[in-house]
Structure 1
Amino acid sequence: MKRYGGLIAFGLAIGFGILAVVLAQKWLAARSTQAQVVLNATVPLTKVVVAASDMQIGTPLTKANLVLADWPQGSEPRGAFNDISAVEGRVAVTKLTAGAPVLAAELAAPGSGAGMVALITTGMRAMAVRVDEVTGVGGFVLPNTFVDIIGVDETRGDKKIAKTILKRIKVLAIAQETFTEEGQAKIVRTVTLELEPKQTEELALQTHQGDIHLVLRNPLEEEPKVEEPKTVAKKAAPVRRVVYRPKPSPHAVEIIRGSKPAETVQFKNANSEEKL
């Protein structure tokens, strides 16, 4: 009996250990289910429209690439939608990630069309310019970056003049792409820029006068506002009315005393008794 005592004790220890593990798993599973039930009972949920798959810029939203997901009520992101029909047909102006809520700020205005047309801000124009590896800053001019445009004037004989003609211009697309992986250089032949109507005329004229170069700038750097000099209107001095008064003419009176010769007396005017 003593010979098998150690083996029996070892077997009992293993059996009790397995039993303890099984009981612990059952207890944890019961606690997890209970916590889930309490959570669902205490936190009200609502539906939010999210992207069903990754979408590139310019992708039209349809029922096929959207889905409704549960979201804690009262914690919905600002600009989120609760109905797929509210966003169906609109176009993404930023890259959408699968599972992320679709926000109003990430979509073009309703009825703005698809593709590049939807990316153009109201009142602006899209213009494509030809570039090479040098003028395109080594391929690091990517969509949604900002550039300054330097024009080289070659119309003045042998002397060339370089001047910044446009500042803080947004890049809409490179070649035919509106999105590339962040930080990835891409050598392209055309860059599409978002310009004001007047700026498109300046850039078109510059492309005929000489070369253009794109200068990549920090998107957080704002162009300083040039304050126009304030002009203070001077208060006009009151106008004095000048009334012309003619100088009084002398008034002569002839006095006759008896047989004496007539005497003439001069007065300042006809109404004055002061003699001259």
Structure 2
Amino acid sequence: MSNIIKFAVLLVGALLIALIVRVVVASSSKPSEVKITTAKVQVSAADLPQGLLLRDEDIGWKAIPATEVPANAIVQGAPGSADLKGALLRHPVTSGTILTGDDVILPSAPGFLAATLKPEMRAVSVAVDDVSGNAGLIQPGDYVDLLLTQQMDRRTDSPDLAVSSETVVEHVRVLAVGSEIKRPKNNGVAPETVTPARTVTLEVTPRMGEVVAVAARLGSLSLALRSFATVTRDPAASAAIPVSSAERAPIWAGDISRAVRALPHARVAEASTGGSYAPPLPHTVTVYRGSEKTDNAAGAAGSAATSVAANSVSGAPPLPIVPAR
């Protein structure tokens, strides 16, 4: 009986060993599955023209096999990856194109400011403060108008023309704010801790540059931010849109303030009705007549009248009367 049990145990053991060997052989004969890894690379989010300063909405991320990542591509999470926000696009790209370091000029690269200028354009800087610079909210890549405000009270006696404001340059691109030539990142820094810029560099034509230089000597300059939504990003279409069809007349103080317009009329009304308006006092005139000296306007008038009467009797030509000033 014991031999039968031993034989059964050996048989079961042999079956188990055979089953294990079969599983091992079967698993080794199957081809091993290849594990595919992917990487996210930066791509263009739309058709972008040459010379564009890239913004957040211009770029995106796309997952591709790691084996297909081109050299110098911007890989998400890779150490030392360049930030393409604010970079200049060297050539046109279509939507979905993988962007590499060779496709852009980074803001930290030498000559970046000159590279951002369109052909035949110039860069000119203007001084701004917290008010004229829109409280620091204007950033590189924005489009602005340049307003000139002048104090005209030394050039005219009319209160209506005491102050004037006019737009001297329209639709120019901001290249730099202070020394920053790309849009700042939002790192949670409070606005009051950011040092305000004192200059703004604009992209202008040679003629506009002359206008800005003269306007800076005439009065104070202010920046008016324009909407991005009204301007197409297609260079050909943007060039076909007229910026201004006709010259607009300047705005004067009398065009804005009713009090300034009413000021000359109020003075005339007060003088005619005997109101609180007081005419200026006459200046004292000193008249010398022989050894006599008169130091007031009334005495001067009386002495002058006496002199006229005396000269008319003697036949001598009358002396000129000195009017009170």
Class of the TM-score when normalised by the shorter of the 2 chains: 0.3 to 0.5
Give 1 or 2: higher helix fraction: 2
| TM-score in terms of structure 2 length | 0.40
Larger Rg: 1
